Amino acid sequence: MLKSRSEKIISGVTGIFRKIKVKFRLVISFLILSIIPLVFLGVFSYNLSKNSIETKIEMYSKQIIEQAENNLYLELEKHGNYAIEISNSKDVQDTLKVINESNEEYERYKANSNLRDIISRRLASVKSISFGSIFLEDEMIHYSVNNYLNKYFLENKEMLIEIAESGGGRPVWTSIEYGDSYHLINVKKINNIATSKKLGYIVIGLRNERFLDVYKNINLGEGADLFIVDSKGRYISNKEMKELGKLHEDESFINEIIKEESTLSETFDFDGHMVSYKYIEGTDWILVGKIPFSYINEEANSIRSSVLFFISICIIFSILFSYLISMSISFPLKNMEKLINKAKEGILTYSIKDDSRDEIGDVIRGFNHMIENIRKLILEVDNLSQKVIDNSILVNKSSEQSKISSRQISEVMNQVAIGASDQAENLADGIGSINILADDINKVEEDMKFVAETANGTKELSQNSLNVVEALNEKASQTSCASDQVIKNINNLSKDMEQIVKITKTISTIADQTNLLSLNASIEAAKAGEAGRGFSVVANEVKKLADQSKESSREIKFIIDDILQKTNDTTKVADNANKFMEEQMNIVKETDSSLKSIYKSMESLMERVDNVSQSIKSALDSKENVLESIENISAISEETASIAEEVSATTQEQVASSEELSKLSKNLDEMSKKLNESISVFKVK
């Protein structure tokens, strides 16, 4: 089908050419084959050279702009360093301190004169600096400043101070215009080096000629221009030294530059020019280069003229050569045309003699063979036509039988397709139900995760509680032992009170032991952490009491009676404390037993939660396998339905083909009869 369409398209196209004589077709084809490649080659060469030149010039212009910008930046940096050097000079710092802090008029006058001399000495040797000035609160100290410039400073002092403040102690470059004068200036805030307190502001002017010297010798090409503007489009510097401080005449050109404040070199096309620009570092000034495309394309246009001349010469030679070739082909074709007309009339007894070695000679010799073959073919066709008539009758009968069988197959396949479609729909419903079940399983899994997290938290709390109870149990045991020891010591103290000297020594020894015991108790309390904080406080208090006991041993003989009374009271209190401690120990043991039971129960619960989670995961995995199997079955069912439909369609086509074959067999019978009549026209003998 596709082949027949392509053949029709090719036949239609060639049919248009066949309406033209071969001679003219050859001339036209030679011209096309020679002109089109030359034109394409010329256009390609021109565009390639043009693009190559533009690319290189763009690259070179960007490099030149970047280098020029770097030179301008270094020049500005160098003059900015003059302001930094003067600001940080010890002489200037000391002089400004005197001017700002002294109340003596003479000292201020002398300091002003000294500062003016310092500025003059520092700036006079730099030819590129046009003037210098230092602004103070209520006065200005100038170097090489005329009356017009002084007036400008008085009127715009606040504006210049604001610019200097924006630099934060760094030099800031800007431009000023007054009357017919235009200056590039560097303003900087002067701070006290030691205290960072403001002392004043310094303004240094840069000669426009010096700024121009940095880039005036850069040649970007004939008709090119190189200039500097600020972000508002005002001219900062140009080679003609004209319109300085004025806005650029083309606002759209400036807007195209400043729409992206790129720190890199950028290039764009504008009004027949290639424009390269770059912001000068540390300023809002832009170095701009404009190169006309007429200069860029000058070499490419020369190449274009040469290519056009060469193409014209080639066209002339192509016309002459194609005419000679066409004549060598059209002349023998005319002779062959005469002989073909004879064959067209049915006269096949003629032949052509041609000894040439080209393709036309081969065609003529082939024509002779064709005539001979046609003679034989006509004789064979005459014999076969009768056989075709007989066979067409048999074909007609076979086609009728095939048509009946095809219809039966089509009906069966339709039933198969319907059954497969129903099966695919049922499988789709099953997949939906399994997905709902999977969603419910996922929800259960999320609930089990929450239960597991809660159980883990409870288990951790139980473990922490067990640790606290164990620590409390240990401390309670220590406290009980200590209480027993206190009771024993008190009883011994009551019995041996007569031996006051020995008792004082014993008390001193007990104090030392108590210190050691309190230290151990503090260590154990620190180990116990939060649970032992109370024991730590008690241990510290015991240590203090031991120290006091040791100090008081020397006075014990004065308070023996009081001690005896207190000893009896203490014995009773210690006995009660011992009873309370035993009760506390019993409660702690019961708490410990309960917490251990809770901990074991939580471990059992965790095991069961893990088992449930594993079961849920297994169910989800099984769900995926079932879904995959159902999808495979569904795909097979759909494929079966599709195949059944295709087979049904094929059988329908076969039925149609059988009917068509029956018609063709009848037509073949009629054509065979007509063929016998047609071949009788040819003369082969």
Contact status, residue 194 vs residue 96, Cβ threshold 8 Å: no
pLDDT reported for residue 204: 94
Distance CA 572, CA 174 (A): 96
What is the rounded end-to-end Cα distance, in angstroms, of the chain?
42
Place of tokens 């007309």: 341
pLDDT reported for residue 110: 92
Distance CA 572, CA 209 (A): 110
Q: Which tokens hold the place of 29? A: 């084809």
Q: What type of residue is 341?
A: N
Contact status, residue 630 vs residue 431, Cβ threshold 8 Å: yes
Q: Which tokens hold the place of 68? A: 């020029």
Q: Is 273 exposed, middle or buried (0-12, 13-18, 19+ CB in 10 A)?
A: buried
pLDDT reported for residue 171: 93
Q: What is the 3-class SS of 467-498, one letter each residue? A: HHHHHHHHHHHHHHHHHHHHHHHHHHHHHCCC
pLDDT reported for residue 363: 76
Distance CA 188, CA 163 (A): 8
What CA–CA distances, in Å, run from 533 to 96, 528, 537, 662? 65, 8, 7, 112
Strand order from edge to edge, sheet including 181-191: 140-143, 129-135, 198-206, 181-191, 172-178
pLDDT reported for residue 15: 59
Instruction: Confirm whether 267 is domain-assigned.
Output: yes
Contact status, residue 108 vs residue 183, Cβ threshold 8 Å: no
Q: What is the DSSP letter of 168?
A: T
Instruction: Confirm whether 589 is domain-assigned.
Output: no
Q: Helix 500-528 crosses helix 359-495 at what angle (to 10 degrees)?
A: 160
Contact status, residue 46 vs residue 52, Cβ threshold 8 Å: no
Distance CA 661, CA 681 (A): 30
Instruction: Confirm whether 275 is domain-assigned.
Output: yes
Contact status, residue 174 vs residue 185, Cβ threshold 8 Å: yes
User: Distance from CA of residue 121 to its chain's centroid?
Assistant: 57
Mean pLDDT (10-residue bins), the chain, 685 residues: 64 62 69 75 75 77 86 90 92 89 87 90 89 89 86 89 89 86 90 90 90 84 86 86 83 80 73 87 88 77 76 77 71 73 71 71 76 74 68 65 63 62 63 65 65 65 64 66 68 66 68 73 72 68 70 66 68 68 69 68 68 67 66 66 65 65 67 66 62
Instruction: Confirm whether 246 is domain-assigned.
Output: yes
pTM of structure = 0.43
Instruction: Confirm whether 42 is domain-assigned.
Output: no
Place of tokens 């419910």: 440
The CATH number linked to 133 is 3.30.450.20
CA-closest candidate to residue 29, choices 299, 250, 229, 318:
318
Contact status, residue 234 vs residue 245, Cβ threshold 8 Å: yes
With residue 556 as reference, give the H or E element that holds it: none
Distance CA 574, CA 117 (A): 96
User: Distance from CA of residue 455 to its chain's centroid?
Assistant: 45
- Domain residues for the domain of 241 are 54-295
- State residue 337 phi and psi, 5-degree precision: -60, -40
For the chain, the domain total comes to: 1
Instruction: Confirm whether 235 is domain-assigned.
Output: yes
Q: What type of residue is 447?
A: D
Contact status, residue 665 vs residue 392, Cβ threshold 8 Å: yes
pLDDT reported for residue 159: 92
CA-closest candidate to residue 537, choices 518, 552, 554, 551:
518
Instruction: Confirm whether 214 is domain-assigned.
Output: yes
Q: What type of residue is 216?
A: K
Instruction: Confirm whether 662 is domain-assigned.
Output: no
